[in-house]
Structure 1
Amino acid sequence: MSPGNPDTGRPLGIGVLGAADIAWRRTIPAIQRCDRLRLVAVASRAPERAAAFAGRFGCEPVTGYERLLERDDVEAVYIPLPNALHEQWAATALRAGKHVLVEKSLNADAAGAAALARTAAAGGLAFMENFTFLHHGQHDRVRELVAEGAIGTPRAFSASFGIPPADLSLIRYDPELGGGALLETGTYTVRAAQLFLGPDAEVAGAVLRHDPRTGVDVAGSALLVDGQGVTAQCDFGFTHLYRCTYAIWGSAGRISLDWAFTPPPEARPVLRLERPGVREEHVLPAADQFLGALTAFAGACADPVKHEEHGAAAVRQAALLESIKRQAHVVPPQCQTPARPDGRRP
């Protein structure tokens, strides 16, 4: 069976390569809300995991990733495996003739990402990194305001995505599985910066905070700059109060979002616009960004122009992450500030 065209009216058969938590909570429910996709099967190396997914979502359980890729009724795959396995299984799926939607971060290797993009192009296949936040309308509204001159000439972008410490047994703390804050939370801030910096953006400097207990980076910052001198400060980590924001600051104003990356479908984000003597708050429409991403992927499967766009975006992202890792000044974990006798911290 050749790859299906969602524009013919027949939903594209999609399989899930990996019984991951993000697939259970977010992505598969969104697949089932997408009328351009049809969930066929979920594969896991553990039969009981595949059976649990099949029981909940009404699809076929498959033991082993290779067996799922052998199925003719699977025309596309979604890959939510640990980061270290993304490149390997994206390549295997593309060689099997499947369109690929791979969870971020794909990798931090520009050459590897470029090889995947070439394989996809040679096979006429879609290859897309799954940044769902890009498919929320709040970012379109920010860009519209910037294009209208609401903040004058953009000068600087800043983004923060941090989450509190968690159980050290989680995949995000495992270096063998591609853990670390850069690939887990930093990747969002770097991708968001590219909405406002030019395509020539490069890394001007970076810091990664390394935790010797786990062997991964648990926090960091990166500074990007483009050919026009617009800068982007990207802060991220696992050792923080939860924060999920970005702002674009210009010669005549500033726009900020408080819930930039992970708003649930029912949330109505607030956009703040500051100009001399004026502060405005705009409550924006709610949006289902997971459904938006899956709808965009289904459309890309039928559009060779989108094949090229998504492949190029994945390569740029991988190149920036690779540059951050290569340039980063590595520092040890911060020492906790000693408490005062009354138990409070200074």
Structure 2
Amino acid sequence: MRIGVLGCADIARRRMLPAFAASDAVEVTAVASRDLAKAQETAAPYGCAAVAGYEAVLERSDVDAVYVPLPVALHAEWVERALLAGKHVLAEKPLTADLATTVRLVELAAEKGLVLRENFMFPFHGQHAEALSSLDGELIGLTAAFTVPPVPSGDIRHQRDLGGGALLDLGVYPLRTAQLFLGNDLEVVGARLRVDEKLGVDVAGAVLLAREDGVTAQLTFGMEHSYRSCYELVGSAGAISVDRAFAPPAGLAPPARLVDRDGVRQVALGQDDQYRNAVELFAAAVRTPQVRHGDAADTIALASLVEGVRRAAALERIPLP
């Protein structure tokens, strides 16, 4: 699969381009930026073309698929342009900033017979299946948190017009975790968003989800905290707490704390490379028409949860002093 990259964001340079290069299933043929010098610098280690402007990548005959690591507010435009140009698309999460646009693009991809994948990588790490299989008893609930220290004032996560805010940048990880373990039949029971009125973006939040059978998920996220990347699965006879849940390096055995009938002990889950796994599964979907739209339901369900969080939190905003 020949792929072009639309933008030189940190996630592209630090995670995805190395993962593309490490996979025998993928060849990077072009990297684009509005700044040609930046594109040249980013493309150089991979021996691919450097292109000025994103549209030029969509016009190339040596590009089968594109990767879109642009700010959330730009996803819809460039995902749609790529699909209309006949390119498969791997877009950073969340796919778009609203449910209606997400549904429209998913339907467009299906109409065109193209792969459109939202680039969550952590579900492709083997630690999650291992954690669930280690749980003593039936899964009856979970908690999850993704928080980071304060980001610089000029960071795009502080820019409302680019789709900034903690919910879209960080909160989608705990929400996707709830989907991963509890399925898509989840309701937003309650939510709070802490809003910085000067910036106009949410900087922290908490969410309570529930399934019809009473199983719940309690989620927290924010960008004014210490670093946390973790979840706990609660079983009817035990629990397992997983650290380094969302971005573990390929060589790390993620640490976990297991509580079961035998007591409490620290365990190390298996090593895996979620970045390479995600890339190779995307390439496999491109090669295999029968599985091209298998994750569309997850993408739409996540967008619905995000909309539910916003709706539930609208009357409970907590402005900063």
Q: What's the TM-score, normalizing by structure 2? A: 0.96
In the alignment, which of 262, 281, 296 is matched to residue 296 of structure 1?
281
Residue equivalent to 2:183: 198
1:113 to 97, 102, 105: 102
Which residue number in structure 2 is paired with residue 186 of structure 1? 171
1:48 corresponds to which residue?
37
1:331 is aligned to 2:306: no
Alignment partner of 2:133 out of 140, 144, 148:
144
Do structure 1's residue 162 and structure 2's residue 172 form an aligned pair? no
Given that residues 173 and 180 in structure 1 are in contact (C-alpha distance below 8 angstroms), is that contact kept between their aligned partners in structure 2?
A: yes
In the TM superposition, residue 127 of structure 1 has moved relative to its aligned partner by 0.7
SS of aligned partner of 2:287: coil
Give the CA deviation at 1:97: 0.7
The gaps in structure 2 that reach 5 residues or longer are none
The answer for the alignment partner of 1:103 in structure 2 is 92
Residue 9 (structure 2) pairs with residue 24 (structure 1): no
Q: How far apart in 1 are the matches of 2:201 and 2:308? A: 17
State the partner residue of 2:28.
39
Runs of at least 4 residues of structure 1 off by over 4 A? none
| Worse-superposed segment, 89-98 or 298-307 | 298-307
Q: 70, 75, 80: which one pairs with 1:86?
A: 75
Report the Cα offset of residue 133 of structure 1. 0.7
- Which one has a bigger Cα radius of gyration? 1
Q: Return 5+ residue gaps in structure 1 as ranges.
A: 1-11, 336-346
Which digits, 9 at most, give the CA deviation of each residue in 1:36-63, with x for residues without a partner?
0000001111111111112232110111
Query: What amino acid does structure 2 have at the position aligned with 1:173?
Result: H
Distance 2:56 2:206 in 1: 41
CA distance in structure 2 between the partners assigned to 1:304 and 1:267 by the alignment = 34
- The CA deviation at 1:199 is 2.3
Contact 1:161 1:235 in 2 (8 A): yes
Give the CA deviation at 1:107: 2.3
Q: Aligned-pair distance for 1:144?
A: 2.7
Aligned equivalents of 2:262, 2:25: Cα separation in 1: 47
Q: Contact 1:159/1:189 (CA < 8 Å) preserved in 2?
A: yes
1:213 to 176, 192, 198: 198
Aligned with 2:205: secondary structure? strand
- The aligned amino acid for 1:155 is I
Deviation at 1:327, TM superposition (A): 1.5
Q: Distance in 2 between matches of 1:200 and 1:38?
A: 38
Deviates more, 1:229-238 or 1:49-58: 49-58
Amino acid across the alignment from 1:250: G
Cα displacement string for residues 220-249 of structure 1 (whole angstroms, at most 9, x for unaligned residues) = 011111121111111000010111100111
Counterpart residue number, 2:255? 270
Aligned pair count? 319
- Mapped to 1, the partners of 2:143 and 2:19 lie a distance apart of 30
Q: Is the 8 A contact 2:63 2:87 kept in 1?
A: yes
**CA positional deviation for 1:287:** 1.5
- CA distance in 2 between counterparts of 1:233 and 1:267 reads 27
* 1:277, distance to aligned residue in structure 2 (A): 4.8
CA contact (8 A) 2:242 2:255 kept: yes
**TM-score normalised by L of structure 1:** 0.89
Write the letter of the residue equivalent to 1:253. G
Q: Give the drift of 1:309.
A: 1.6
CA contact (8 A) 2:131 2:269 kept: no
Distance 1:153 1:108 in 2: 35
- Deviation of residue 288 (structure 1)? 1.5
* Alpha-carbon offset, residue 260 of structure 1: 0.5
> Contact conserved, 2:97 with 2:163, CA < 8 A, in 1?
no
Query: Counterpart of 1:342?
Result: none
Deviation at residue 308 of structure 1 after TM alignment: 2.0
